[in-house]
Structure 1
Amino acid sequence: MTQTTETVVDRYITLVDRAVHEPEALQELESVFAPQATVQFGELPPVTGLADITEFYRRFYSDMADSKHVWTTTVLDDEGTIEVRFIAAWRTADGQLGSQGGIERVTVDADGLIRELRVLSLESDGA
């Protein structure tokens, strides 16, 4: 049986939503990602290491004026695997709206930090 609980992923998503208005919040990624973590969004090449992950998110959110995620996290096993189902909505700096939903699979290390974050599926609606 799976259980739903507050996790490092919940802190991560809250942090990236904050970063749209507070870019300096990205420095806090070190509190949720392991130093040699890997992030992969869909078919994009994986990004490894805290410095490169921070830069990836800085570029990813650089043209957004607002962003909000709604999500659920479910701990799948005792080895630190978490599934995240999310919906995100945003407004770009030039006023365009967009939304996206998907599933992420996250692996957490023994210290409770994200070791791997992979977006498995995405559904997008650019408005």
Structure 2
Amino acid sequence: MTATETALDRYITFMGRAAHDTALLDDLSSIFAVDATVAMGTPEVVAGLDAITEFYRGFYAGAGDSKHFWTTTVLDDGTLKAHFIVAGRNPDGSLMARSGIEHATVNDDGLITSLTVTFTGALDN
């Protein structure tokens, strides 16, 4: 965890917990604005809190145990950027790792309005 908590830090922490307790996904309104968008390493954009919630339900349906590490920077324009790595074990016992960069914009209420994830590396065995 970083010394200063931003909305992006809250998101990454929340998602790390949701991997172990998917019931937490019912509270994504504490992280995302109602009209937020998420682009998770693909050109497709998930728009709106309900669609985002369903997206993460599907994302975590086949997830195993994992651990996130990251550093967050507040850019000059007020947007947030986090470099991250996540490593874990898939439900079948195989190992996985991902690295990437997340960019987020945040509204005045401290909720994410736009999240873009770009994966920069992967390991699956």
- Does TM, normalized by the shorter one, top 0.5? yes
| 1:24 equivalent in structure 2 | 23
Q: 1:121 to 1:22 in 2, by over 3 A?
A: closer
Question: Is residue 125 from structure 1 mapped to residue 119 from structure 2 by the alignment?
Answer: no
Please state how far the C-alpha of 1:54 moved relative to its aligned partner: 0.9
| 1:93 equivalent in structure 2 | 91
Over the residues paired in the alignment, what is the CA RMSD in angstroms? 1.4
Runs of 4+ in 1 over 4 A off after TM superposition: none
Q: 1:125 to 1:83 in 2, by over 3 A?
A: same
Q: Is the 8 A contact 1:84 1:105 kept in 2?
A: yes
Question: Is residue 107 from structure 1 mapped to residue 111 from structure 2 by the alignment?
Answer: no
- Give the aligned residue type for 1:111: D
Q: 1:25 to 1:88 in 2, by over 3 A?
A: same
SS in 1 for 2:103: strand
| 1:74 equivalent in structure 2 | 73
- Give the aligned residue type for 2:12: I
Please state how far the C-alpha of 1:80 moved relative to its aligned partner: 3.1
Please state how far the C-alpha of 1:44 moved relative to its aligned partner: 4.2
Q: Is the 8 A contact 1:80 1:109 kept in 2?
A: no
Q: Is the 8 A contact 2:32 2:113 kept in 1?
A: yes
Alpha-carbon distance in structure 2 between the residues aligned to 1:82 and 1:118: 10
- Give the aligned residue type for 2:101: I
Q: Structure 1 regions of 5+ residues with no counterpart?
A: none
Of 81, 84, 106, which aligns to 2:82?
A: 84
Alpha-carbon distance in structure 1 between the residues aligned to 2:53 and 2:85: 22
Q: Is the 8 A contact 2:103 2:117 kept in 1?
A: yes
TM-score, normalised relative to structure 1:
0.90
Q: How many residues align?
A: 123
Q: 1:56 to 1:93 in 2, by over 3 A?
A: same
Please state how far the C-alpha of 1:14 moved relative to its aligned partner: 1.0
Q: Structure 2 regions of 5+ residues with no counterpart?
A: none
Identity %: 50
